[in-house]
Amino acid sequence: MNCIIVEDEIPAQKILKSFIAKIPSIKLIATFKAAIEANAFLNNNTVDIVFLDINLPDMSGLDFIRSIKNPPAIIMTTAYPEYAVNSFELDTIVDYLVKPFSFDRFLKAINKTKNRLEPSKNPIEENDETIFLNVDKTHHKIVLNSILYIESDRNYITVATEDQRLSYIDSLKNWTLKLPESQFIQVHKSFIVNSKFVDKISGNTLFIKTNKIPIGRTYKQELLNKLGV
């Protein structure tokens, strides 16, 4: 994958270059101090990933993204963590690295970007553990990895996948015992979500495909931590 760096601080450029050099699958093809120069380059070259600072001399990184017609995957880099949640309102932003960041954290961002750019042809095969739900006297087979989210409403649970919504009597607490903690996150007293399907976060709302899911205040920081924000 080809990448570029848009960063006006030389020490930050050097760190990114050294980290990129450790990953054979990524090739650094250009480095820029200003967004305008990078924009001209993107118009004439194929770029898969942009490492982009927010505070740039000519325009902000977020304004730069909005100016690109078909932006590549963006990994934001900045010393200001307060921008993180707002930046995820832009779909093209895959991850957000707060300076100073470690190589381990950098690698996590790269893997997240690879999953976005090179999705598995059949992601369900990665974890095909199944469960049967007895709904209206019919047993429905559900692949856990295909669940988008689980919603609780009084004594009922709704399990939502891309293909169906199944509602039956159960509790959200029971589901926390069934689901792998590494993948499923409780984001509200009434919602558990599959982290791999989270598209973006805007304020206290989480988006999974066309679904808007509220984020409870007591759950928000843990959610951001698990997503690597």
Model confidence pLDDT, tens digit, residues 107-148: 888 988 887 777 544 443 445 678 888 888 888 888 888 899
Asked whether residue 142 falls in the same domain as residue 60, the answer is: no
Residues 151/191, Cβ–Cβ less than 8 Å: yes
Which residue among 85, 117, 149 closes a domain? 117
Task: Evaluate if pTM is beyond 0.95.
Answer: no
In the block, tokens 């090179």 appear at: 118
Rounded Cα distance, 158 and 147, in Å: 11
Give the range of the structural domain holding residue 144, as residue numbers without chain letter. 124-226
Do residue 107 and residue 175 come from a single domain? no
> Do both 97 and 178 map to the same domain?
no
Q: Are residues 159 and 67 in the same domain?
A: no
Question: Do 101 and 142 share a domain, yes or no?
Answer: no
Task: Summarize pLDDT for 177-213 with one digit per residue, the tens.
Answer: 778 887 899 999 999 999 889 988 888 999 998 899 9
Q: Could you tell me if 51 and 147 lie in one domain?
A: no
pLDDT tens figures, 85-101: 454 556 778 888 888 88
Are both 99 and 129 inside the same structural domain? no
Instruction: Please say whether the beta carbons of 76 and 93 come within 8 A.
Output: yes
Q: Are strands 27-32 and 2-6 parallel, antiparallel or unpaired?
A: parallel
Q: Cα 127 vs. chain centroid, distance in angstroms?
A: 19
pLDDT tens profile 124-135:
344 567 888 888
Residues 109 and 132 in one domain: no
| Residue 130 host element (H or E) | strand 130-135
Q: Are residues 16 and 97 in the same domain?
A: yes
pLDDT of residue 90: 63
Same domain, 91 and 132: no
Of 117, 138, 161, which residue is a domain's last? 117
37 shares a domain with 12: yes
Q: Do 154 and 169 belong to one domain?
A: yes
Final residue of a structural domain among 98, 117, 136: 117
